[in-house]
Structure 1
Amino acid sequence: LWQEGHTAHATSEEAMQESLKMLDVYAAFAENYMAMPVIKGEKTASERFPGAVNTYCIEAMMQDKKALQAGTSHFLGQHFSRGFNIKYLSAEDKEEFAWTTSWGASTRLIGGLIMTHSDDNGLVLPPKLAPAQVVILPIIHKEEDRATILAYCDSLAKELRDIRYHDQRLGVEMDTRELTGGEKAWSWVKKGVPIRVEIGNKEVARNSVFMGRRDKEYKDRQVVSRTEFLATIVNQLDEMQHNLFNRAKTFQEQNMAMITSLDDFYAYFKSDGGFALAHWNGDAEIEAKMKQELSVTIRCIPFSMQDKKGKCIFSGDDNAQMAIFAKAY
């Protein structure tokens, strides 16, 4: 997974719009598909992409409270077009240097997905990104029951694959390995498949399924009629998608603190700190000192707090900007 783009524009305004538009695209993908909440903002000069005029980013909090830069978009001005002689023919029939952008996301999104949602039992996949949304587990104790149970599972799988989930057919796996029910179920828990369905003699006789969800405890399983299961599967998957996002968003909010003094700042990061919101006067020497002494960097100047000026906790200067500090990958 590596996605990167470069564009050239006739005006500075067009290039800036493209840079911010792509940042919105990355943020929407992270939140709407990965169920990973992010904070949009601008990098400081020391964290900026070399040669860029502005670097914009999305920052996510992992379960160890460290930050992950999950995507970046750069407004390059004319620095690279002049360096590489990138020109266009203007409406006035004159050669002009282009205004350029660069933006990208990489394999770190896979790590971000794992570190945002997974638990001690293994992988947890948001339904919108899962290769399969449902796995069917035939539970066969007697050989004479095999044909009946497998036929039931096959017909259920067919019905599920005919259901549309966000513009694609549901992905369905069926595990016919010669393993116990527990061994089968746990192997799919570790793989993070959103919904597990166990089918044995009881389920066939009752025209039902025994269902478990990956966003709940393993033992939190229930018998659901086949009709109800098929009718509610899309809603259940959407509920799981929302639950995963809300769980991660709550974690982020619970581990973000407003810091108003230097002593509190040091104490926060010498303990179990997460994201610290603090006013900073823009001094690169202060930024470097925090990195050296606490292994903390400014993750971004958040867009949502650009108007929240205040007193710098490091220097006492007024009219300082709000920044997000954190340890990071």
Structure 2
Amino acid sequence: MADNGGKKPNANAKAKGSGGGGGKKKEVKKETGLGLTKKKDENFGEWYSEVVVHGEMIEYYDISGCYILRPWTMAIWETMQTFFDAEIKKMRIKNCYFPLFVSPAVLEKEKDHIEGFAPEVAWVTKSGKSELEVPIAIRPTSETVMYPYYSKWIRGHRDLPLKLNQWCNVVRWEFSNPTPFIRSREFLWQEGHTAFATKEEADKEVLEILELYRRIYEEYLAIPVVKGKKSENEKFAGGLYTTSVEGATSHCLGQNFAKMFDITFENEKGEKAMIWQNSWAYSTRTIGVMVMVHGDDRGLVLPPKVASVQAIVIPVPYKDVDTEAIFDACLKTVETLNEAGFRVEADLRDNYSPGWKYSHWEMKGVPLRIEIGPKDLKNNQVRCARRDNSAKVDIPMNNLVEEVKEMFAKIQQNLFDVAKQKRDASIQVTRTWDEFTEALNEKKLILAPWCDEKEVEEDVKARTKGEIGAAKSLCSPFDQPDLPEGTLCFASGKPAKKWTYWGRSY
């Protein structure tokens, strides 16, 4: 849990308050929790908790593992939703909504699928004080909710493809180490469920959706990803195969669910055939990944593309100056930038010092701070300070829109480049078991040659199991490095078939 008391901001960011004095400072500190008490490199878990609370992304709720998503978070989610929804509509995928509740008979119909979710399924057992005759499950995912109706709606080849998506919440009753965004008992997501006449159509869509997920991560959240395929052990329960960018997955379900729910159609030859299905989803977990990748010891760092407020304008008045003229310049700057299509606000509160405001908006991760003081007013300019690298530059007012647009592009690209450099630096290529375990203990992202056998992966998990979690395969990248003939699997000594990324499951 975050320490809501916080810590005093830097000397140049102390709150003076309207009346000044130590008492007022203490009151402001208590109100805002300004300043982090933990450092990212020293206590990552507690740092993360502080950042998402002090950055006003979430508030803790009185049910463990459930969190209030504040407007600062919802604006990010809505930006990603707007992009993704428009793209899937271009693919003729339509939105729908299915109920939250699932009957036990339907949920348990697909054994392999529900076994993967059984420990996380929440059940409604009472109505008021009366016990329900038959308990009702709350969806952990919607295959078993939707597919009985696909069976009803799909009769002939003219009913295909059937391509539906829903924006909804799901409940997975996590019991171990709930973490905002990353491991919560309820979260928001989209889930697409599509049906085709042929495997070729399904395979094509799997990769098209995966590319959209790559774009969300790389173009919007400025996080580099690796597109690849999950192992048999790590694939979606009940599916044929799973592709991934690690924060979002696109599954080919094959015909397993079609068999279980009797989803058949009459093809063009008049023959009865099974459909081919896909399912795919990304969730609010993506936001947690963004916080972890870009955040620093001052708080959130938001990419301009998803930031609720892309720039904050702050007046910097001195004694005996025309504050009204400075405030007017701030409002004019906001108006100009908003008219140009940017998301910009001014912080004109007079009970906080400019320094305190700097720290406050830095904590919330606003990409750009625009300062206007007497000197700026005189020179018809503004001073801009970037959140990502703290660089400052003076910009003429008559060139403001073009300069700010370019600055946002540079911030977005720099966040991606820095994240990629850190990611690449953390990758360790290993070829032997000893090299693998050493890299694992150093918390590296490991790329190792693998024989692609389920039993070997299970053995790796068993041999590496410890207090901080066992090793697990992440994905085999589509873009495979060269695998010289005779290369052996790091774990079994058998001939290697592919390179695969590995890490610890925490």
Q: Does the TM-score normalized on the shorter chain lie above 0.5?
A: yes
Letter in 1 for 2:418: R
Q: Secondary structure at the match of 1:6?
A: strand
Q: 5+ unaligned residues in a row in structure 1: which ranges? A: 60-69, 164-168
- Match of 1:198? 371
- Match of 1:292? 462
Among 19, 22, 47, the residue aligned to 2:206: 19
Letter in 2 for 1:36: I
- Match of 1:65? none
1:90 CA drift (Å)? 2.2
Among 473, 476, 491, the residue aligned to 1:301: 476
Percent sequence identity over aligned pairs: 35
Q: Secondary structure at the match of 2:248?
A: strand
Q: What does 1:10-89 correspond to in 2, within 5 Å?
A: 10-59=197-246, 70-89=247-266
Q: Using the alignment, how far apart are the partners of 1:292 and 1:214 within structure 2?
A: 44
Q: Secondary structure at the match of 1:39?
A: coil
Q: 1:102 to 1:90 in 2, by over 3 A?
A: same
Can you list the C-alpha shifts for 1:159-179, whole angstroms capped at 9, x where unaligned?
A: 11121xxxxx10011101121
Q: 1:42 to 1:171 in 2, by over 3 A?
A: same
Letter in 2 for 1:182: G
1:228 CA drift (Å)? 3.5
Q: Using the alignment, how far apart are the partners of 2:453 and 2:271 within structure 1?
A: 41
Q: Does 1:176 align with 2:362?
A: no
Q: Does 1:215 align with 2:388?
A: yes
Q: 5+ unaligned residues in a row in structure 2: which ranges? A: 1-187, 465-469
Letter in 2 for 1:16: D
Q: Using the alignment, how far apart are the partners of 1:281 and 1:79 within structure 2?
A: 26
Q: Does 1:249 align with 2:420?
A: yes
1 or 2 for the larger relative contact order (CA 8 Å, sep ≥6)? 1
Q: Using the alignment, how far apart are the partners of 1:141 and 1:306 within structure 2?
A: 60
Q: Does 1:264 align with 2:435?
A: yes
Q: Using the alignment, how far apart are the partners of 1:282 and 1:74 within structure 2?
A: 19
- Match of 2:501? 324
1:144 CA drift (Å)? 6.2
Q: What does 1:130-209 correspond to in 2, within 5 Å?
A: 130-142=307-319, 145-163=322-340, 169-178=341-350, 179-209=352-382
Q: Secondary structure at the match of 1:14?
A: helix
Instruction: Check conservation: 2:452, 2:496, Cα contact below 8 A.
Output: no
1:235 CA drift (Å)? 1.0
Q: Using the alignment, how far apart are the partners of 1:54 and 1:26 within structure 2?
A: 17
Q: 1:276 to 1:172 in 2, by over 3 A?
A: same
- Which of 35-44 and 138-147 deviates more? 138-147
After superposition, the CA RMSD in angstroms is 1.7
Q: Using the alignment, how far apart are the partners of 1:58 and 1:103 within structure 2?
A: 12
- Match of 1:102? 279
Alignment: residue pair count = 311
Q: Using the alignment, how far apart are the partners of 2:505 and 2:294 within structure 1?
A: 18
Structure-2-length-normalised TM-score? 0.59
Instruction: Check conservation: 2:395, 2:403, Cα contact below 8 A.
Output: no
1:212 CA drift (Å)? 0.3
Q: Secondary structure at the match of 1:2?
A: strand
1:121 CA drift (Å)? 0.5
Q: What does 1:92-131 correspond to in 2, within 5 Å?
A: 92-131=269-308
Instruction: Check conservation: 2:190, 2:281, Cα contact below 8 A.
Output: yes
Letter in 2 for 1:202: K
- Which of 76-85 and 286-295 deviates more? 286-295
Q: Using the alignment, how far apart are the partners of 1:293 and 1:87 within structure 2?
A: 44
